[in-house]
Amino acid sequence: MYIRDTIAAVSTPPGNGGIGIIRISGDLAATVGHTVFKPVNDGGLVSHRFYFGTISDTSTGEKIDEAMSVFMRAPRTYTREDVLELHCHGGWLVVERVLALVLSCGVRLAEPGEFTRRAFLNGRIDLVQAEAVMDIIASKSEAALQLAQRQREGILSRRIENVRSCLIRSLALVEAYIDFPDDDLGETDVTSICSSVKEAQDIISDLLLTFEEGRIMRDGISVLIVGKPNAGKSSLLNRLLNENRAIVTHIPGTTRDIIEETISFEGLSIRLLDTAGIRHTDDLVEQEGISRALEKIPLADIVLAVFDTSREFSQEDQLILEALAGCRTIAVLNKTDLLERFILPDEERFVSIIKIAALSGAGIDLLKQTVCRLFLHSAGLDSRESVALSKARHRDALVSAELSLRHFSVGLRDRNLELLALDLRNALQAVGTVTGQTATDEVLDQIFSSFCIGK
Amino acid sequence: MITCDQTYDVIVVGAGHAGCEAALASSRMGCRTMLLTINLDAIALMSCNPSIGGLAKGHLVKEIDALGGEMAKNIDATGIQFRILNTKKGPAVRASRAQADKQQYRLRMKRVLEHQANLDLKQDEVTSLYLENGRLQGVDLRSGIRYLSQTVVVTTGTFMRGLIHIGLNHYPGGRAGDQPSVGLSDQLRELGFDVGRLKTGTPARLDARSIDFSQLETQFGDNPPQPFSFSTKEITMPQLPCHIAYTNQRSHDIIRSGLDRSPLYSGIIEGIGPRYCPSIEDKVVRFPDKERHQTFIEPEGIDTIEVYPSGMSTSLPIDIQIAFYRSIVGLERVEIMRPAYAIEYDYVDPIQLHTSLETKSISNLFHAGQINGTSGYEEAAGQGLIAGINAALRVKGCEPLVLGRSQAYIGVMIDDLVTLGTKEPYRMFTSRAEYRLLLREDNADLRLREIGYQLGLVSDQEFAHFSEKKNLINDELERIATTRLVNSDFQLEELARRGLHDIQKGTTLEHLLKRSDFCYSDLAELDPVSRETIPEIREQVEIQTKYRGYIDRQLEQVEQAKKLETTRIPISLDYASVKSLTTEVREKLSKSRPDTLGQASRIPGVTPAAISILSIALKSSSWKEHVQ
């Protein structure tokens, strides 16, 4: 509802396009530009000029994409505010990651029609255009309302309602001890306060998981296959492809040296990214090639690390393991039909370890099931039954609520009730944005119905 | 009707806690003011509990004082027990509370009014407002005289069509012993106001001589007592304790046995009562498992034997009252001096007011206090002050004073009332303030003194004192931010003694003060200059430093919301013509007619999208062209 803050949105149509543009408008636009985008010439961004460079995750320093960027200083912009545009590769994964990165810089996701609204409010467009904008906002919010109403009948709103009532319960307890010190309420009931918060936290993390699930049902997952040559990568890929006739696309990599194949398994769309170009030698140039391919690892939802168990664990295997540090990885032990000489070090770091024999096809089904199960937590694949938190806005709200509750848990040590109340209130407010409710009166209702108060 | 040839700038109807502040404010701002009351001996009477302040209410009193109102000074001069509540909790939820000598409180306020220039005090009953062609001109009185006035502030408390209940007996009254006000609320209804009915109650007054205080817990006030007013140097009244007693199962059985003759449960009382201040029968019925209910036996004054059992209000028949008070340990032989009763009265839904407290349908008419559906002396006084100020500003042709939700509890209260209306008596709670960390008792002067001074309600001397304090705070904040530990031997020793080995040389005093294990008095041990700092500066510097992160975050939120809060919606806006709004939103906005976009955004059901649409509609200067 703020008017002067900075907003961002993907301004290209949803889905995989050739290019994806993230537009940011507001005072923070320049700061965001400096933070996430590094032009190749390493200088600043001169207004209204296009730059080539890279977008990196500020917290980890990890490179997300090569991109073009343009910063436009107010007032010569569409909204008459500072505007930054990031043009990245159109894959949904990249665009979503960049958007998430931008939002983590203190920027808010834009409301429907908000760029145009700002354009009007800042005198950029005239009244006739503005009337059209009002209708757009009305119709879009109408659509959102219908969506919300549909969801209201569904599980999402029930779960959100559960979160709210947990939070209201704990906030009411906290507020009662603050506002009625003379009312014989006994000692502050920290246990009850915390157990309600814990309940809310659990529901929120479940919901966030299903958000992930909803996204996965819609867009599928990407699986990166890595391994040294002759580990059986190609056989594995072929086996996966042969077993499934439903090949959707076959996109040869252009500059990325990656082959992308899509299969469908039990309704889940799985994109297999095969690092086919990697060939190991001791040659430094070749090693550079490997590491460049491995840069794509963070973009994958999961990595299949293929090992040849008929040979001993080698230097090359070690190299791959090091590159996979911190990634969700399944160890695929191939050629188990042969004599096993292989000992996998550090087994706990793998999400799962699957033994297969790619040539005979043994273990392939188990592998596929394991992958599916990792991403679809709830029983079965019927998305109507699971709560699909598909809207980024809802996810935003829940993430912010989760953060406030984490603050709350940290603050418990000091037992400063008014600060605990602040955290709970922020969490409630965040959750309230999903269903559009405010809480003050409900908190008071809760206090008066659970405590005998009054002098 | 005889018309008096004297014309007033402001006429205030009612001399309770709202009316007194209103009349003092407008007369101090130079307006010819008349204060009318049904009973000159009941000015600023504490009709219910003999106390001022408490959580959120103490905040209101300090704000009233910072703006130049009288309530804080009045309780400081007549208070017989002072306590700061929540001292173990954070600074934002600490609050002052005081017991008053009820008669002295009323007499001192009357004396202040009597000595106020520009102010006439008269005893009479207003039977109707006097309007000509729909324009407010003055008031008509029971005695047959008509007074003309530019503005009128109505603060009728529980008097409009007041009806007193004791058991199944009921009779008209504005308060026990006083006549009700008859006619005025009928006229308001005829003028188109939405007039509703509320209920409140008060416990019996007991004879202290018939209570065995040795059986009760004693509760003393703070020593030394801390005053409410920023201008009071010290409390000179003798201080008295309160006592704590409890009901028991037998009391509850007695209460249950009388429910068939309760006007509350037999449906005779139609008005809605406050949930936060339920009668004892309500408590027993709603919380049947609670074994006992606590009561503070509060003295009504120094020279009286009357005491007030808080939390024990009731409208049960007198025989049940006697039996149940006597079932309490220590009160076995208690004598009732004045029976408990419930009272129903007319209120005017405050959704019909601007944030200035002026009514939307009749210009120059202001409402304050219980007529707006609030309860509590402090809530009433806060509104009275604002209504008086705004009546005076109207007379002077100035813009009204509207305090924001981020500025004052008074602002939160008025915004709640006029935006959402109320169906039950409204009381202030700290949980109603979304910017609670900013709205502390300790900084009420920093928030509001300047406004009070500009209005002419704060004296030059008071303001000079405030300015000095403000400068000292800023200087000290600056000093601790730039003063670094040099780690002289005595500092090192002192730190080691406290087990603080991780503090580096060069650490600023500010940095030290931010630590949760370090407070300003610790600083004074390390740093000779800090030792000289006076307590009120220490307090501010400590709070502002320790809570800076949280305070800054709230200030940021305030800044972000500012655009909405300052965008005004013209009263003439025809919502039906803003075609993109949904029917539901249009209806809600048409009913409430908010003054600003911020207010509109707080109406339940008004979506962010609707606010966007409204802001566009407002922006177009020639928005009337939208009308089709």
ipTM value, please give it: 0.84
Cβ pair A179:B431 closer than 8 A: yes
Q: Name the minimum distance, in Å, from the CA of A217 to any CA of chain B.
A: 30
CA distance A14 to B584: 32
CA distance B315 to A137: 54
Give the per-residue pLDDT at B626.
44
pLDDT digits (tens, 9 = 90+) for B480-490: 999 888 767 77
Q: Cβ contacts (< 8 Å) between B276 and chain A: which residues?
A: 444, 448, 453-454
Q: Name the minimum distance, in Å, from the CA of A90 to any CA of chain B.
A: 30
* CA B141 distance to own-chain centroid: 29
Q: Which A residues in the span 176-235 are in contact with B, Cβ-Cβ below 8 Å?
A: 178-184
Q: Name the minimum distance, in Å, from the CA of B490 to any CA of chain A.
A: 30
Q: Cβ contacts (< 8 Å) between A140 and chain B: which residues?
A: 609
- The DSSP bridge partners found for residue B100 are B79
What's the token pair of residue A304?
């299949």
CA distance B313 to B315: 7
Least confident of B238-242, B266-270, B550-554, B577-581: B577-581
Confidence of residue A10 (pLDDT cuts 50, 70, 90): confident
- Residue of A115, A146, A418 to mutate for B, most B C-beta atoms under 10 A: A418
Number of H-type helices and E-type strands within chain B: 21, 20
CA–CA distances in Å: residue A425 to residues A75, A130, B335: 37, 36, 47
Q: Give yes or no for A452 touching B (CB within 8 A).
A: yes
For A115, nearest residue in chain B (alpha carbons): B612
Comparing CB atoms, the residue among B275, B296, B616 nearest residue A134 is B616
Q: Cβ contacts (< 8 Å) between A430 and chain B: which residues?
A: none
For A177, nearest residue in chain B (alpha carbons): B86
With a CB cutoff of 8 Å and minimum separation 6, the contacts of B485 are B491, B503, B504, B505, B506, B507, B508, B509, B512, B526
- Residue of B88, B94, B580, B622 to mutate for A, most A C-beta atoms under 10 A: B580
What's the token pair of residue B179?
């006549």
Comparing CB atoms, the residue among B89, B293, B580 nearest residue A134 is B580
pLDDT digits (tens, 9 = 90+) for B582-598: 888 888 898 889 999 99
Give the per-residue pLDDT at A380.
38
What's the token pair of residue A289?
């090639």
Confidence of residue A455 (pLDDT cuts 50, 70, 90): low
Q: Residue B217: name the closest of B310, B296, B301, B302 by CA.
A: B296
The yes-or-no verdict on residue B541 having pLDDT over 80 is: yes
Cβ count within 10 A of residue B91: 20
Buried b (16+ CB within 10 A) or exposed e, B289-308: eeeebbbbbbbbbeeebbbb
Task: Note if the bond before A75 is cis, omega within 30 degrees.
Answer: yes
With a CB cutoff of 8 Å and minimum separation 6, the contacts of B456 are B28, B29, B30, B68
Q: Give yes or no for A142 touching B (CB within 8 A).
A: yes
CA distance B431 to B16: 27
Give the per-residue pLDDT at B69.
98
Q: Give yes or no for A285 touching B (CB within 8 A).
A: no
Cβ pair A440:B275 closer than 8 A: no
Give the per-residue pLDDT at A435.
64
A119-123 contacts, C-beta under 8 A, 24 or more apart: A119/A78, A119/A79, A119/A80, A120/B616, A120/B619, A121/A3, A121/B615, A121/B616, A121/B619, A122/A75, A122/A79, A122/A80, A122/A81, A123/A80
Q: Which A residues in the span 358-417 are in contact with B, Cβ-Cβ below 8 Å?
A: 414, 416-417
Q: Are B157 and B369 in contact (CB under 8 A)?
A: yes
CA distance B214 to B330: 8
Q: Would you call A17 helix, strand, or coil by DSSP?
A: coil
Residue A62 CB-half CA count within 13 A: 16
Q: Cβ contacts (< 8 Å) between B286 and chain A: which residues?
A: 452
For B613, nearest residue in chain A (alpha carbons): A134
Q: How far apart are the first and last CA of chain A?
A: 39
Cβ pair B607:A138 closer than 8 A: no
pLDDT digits (tens, 9 = 90+) for B96-144: 999 999 999 999 999 999 999 999 999 999 999 999 999 999 999 999 9
C-alpha angle with apex B584: B582 to B586, nearest 5 degrees?
A: 70
pLDDT digits (tens, 9 = 90+) for A85-106: 999 886 767 787 888 889 888 8
Q: Cβ contacts (< 8 Å) between A134 and chain B: which residues?
A: 580, 613, 616-617
Q: Which amino acid makes up residue B351?
A: I
Rg (CA), chain A: 26
Arithmetic mean of pLDDT over chain B: 93
Give the per-residue pLDDT at A3.
58
Residue with tokens 């209120």: B347
Give the per-residue pLDDT at A74.
87
Cβ pair A422:B436 closer than 8 A: yes
Q: Give yes or no for A347 touching B (CB within 8 A).
A: no
Q: Cβ contacts (< 8 Å) between A453 and chain B: which residues?
A: 276, 278
Q: Are B551 and B543 in contact (CB under 8 A)?
A: no
Can you list the positions of beta strands (E) in B435-542?
none
The yes-or-no verdict on residue B346 having pLDDT over 90 is: yes
Using DSSP bridges, classify how beta strands B2-13 and B145-154 pair: parallel, antiparallel or unpaired.
Answer: parallel
CA dihedral B48, B50, B55, B56 (to 10 degrees): 70
Q: Cβ contacts (< 8 Å) between A131 and chain B: which residues?
A: 626
- Residue of A81, A149, A178, A445 to mutate for B, most B C-beta atoms under 10 A: A178
CA distance B559 to A50: 33
Give the per-residue pLDDT at B519.
87
Using DSSP bridges, classify how beta strands B135-141 and B145-154 pair: parallel, antiparallel or unpaired.
Answer: antiparallel
Cβ pair A425:B437 closer than 8 A: no
Q: Are A316 and A278 in contact (CB under 8 A)?
A: no
Cβ pair A455:B311 closer than 8 A: yes
Buried b (16+ CB within 10 A) or exposed e, A328-342: ebbbbbbbbbeeeeb
Find the DSSP H helices in B155-211.
184-190
Using DSSP bridges, classify how beta strands B242-246 and B365-367 pair: parallel, antiparallel or unpaired.
Answer: unpaired
Q: Are A129 and A120 in contact (CB under 8 A)?
A: yes
Sign of CA dihedral B435, B437, B438, B440: positive
Q: What is the mean pLDDT of residues A342-348?
A: 81
For B87, nearest residue in chain A (alpha carbons): A181
Q: Cβ contacts (< 8 Å) between B49 and chain A: which residues?
A: 455
Q: What is the mean pLDDT of residues B337-345?
A: 97
Give the per-residue pLDDT at A130.
64
Q: Residue B608: name the closest of A345, A438, A10 by CA.
A: A438
CA–CA distances in Å: residue B142 to residues A397, B36, B127, B370: 60, 12, 6, 22
Q: Are B298 and B242 in contact (CB under 8 A)?
A: yes
What's the token pair of residue B507?
């650490």
The yes-or-no verdict on residue A377 having pLDDT over 70 is: no
Q: Cβ contacts (< 8 Å) between A176 and chain B: which residues?
A: none
What's the token pair of residue B175?
């308060």
* CA B354 distance to own-chain centroid: 18
Least confident of A337-346, B370-379, B538-547: A337-346
Residue with tokens 């909204």: A79
- For A50-90, give the DSSP string: EEEEEEE-TTT--EEEEEEEEEE-TTSSSSSS-EEEEEEE-
Q: Residue B577: name the closest of B595, B589, B562, B563 by CA.
A: B589
Q: What is the mean pLDDT of residues A3-19?
A: 74
The yes-or-no verdict on residue B241 having pLDDT over 70 is: yes
In chain A, pLDDT over 90 holds for what percent of residues? 15
Comparing CB atoms, the residue among B274, B430, B612 nearest residue A178 is B430
Q: Name the minimum distance, in Å, from the CA of B142 to any CA of chain A.
A: 36
Cβ pair A1:B611 closer than 8 A: yes
Task: Note if the bond before A14 is cis, omega within 30 degrees.
Answer: no
Q: Which A residues in the span 78-107 are in contact with B, Cβ-Cβ below 8 Å?
A: none
In chain B, pLDDT over 70 holds for what percent of residues? 98
Q: Are B600 and B611 in contact (CB under 8 A)?
A: yes
Q: Cβ contacts (< 8 Å) between B515 and chain A: which residues?
A: none
Cβ pair B86:A178 closer than 8 A: yes
Host H or E run for residue B137: strand B135-141
Q: Cβ contacts (< 8 Å) between A137 and chain B: which residues?
A: 580, 609, 612-613
Cβ pair A121:B616 closer than 8 A: yes
With a CB cutoff of 8 Å and minimum separation 6, the contacts of B349 are B193, B194, B195, B196, B373, B421, B422
Arithmetic mean of pLDDT over chain A: 76
Give the per-residue pLDDT at A245.
37
Q: Cβ contacts (< 8 Å) between B274 and chain A: which residues?
A: 454
With a CB cutoff of 8 Å and minimum separation 6, the contacts of B472 are B534, B537
Cβ count within 10 A of residue A140: 14
Q: How far apart are the first and last CA of chain B?
A: 49
Q: Are B51 and B73 in contact (CB under 8 A)?
A: no
CA distance A72 to B537: 47
Cβ pair A111:B56 closer than 8 A: no
Most confident of B241-245, B262-266, B532-536: B241-245
Q: Cβ contacts (< 8 Å) between A425 and chain B: which residues?
A: 434
Residue with tokens 């007193």: B164
Q: Cβ contacts (< 8 Å) between B93 and chain A: which residues?
A: 178-179, 417-418
Q: Cβ contacts (< 8 Å) between A112 and chain B: which residues?
A: 609
Confidence of residue B628 (pLDDT cuts 50, 70, 90): very low
- Residue of B88, B89, B427 to mutate for A, most A C-beta atoms under 10 A: B89
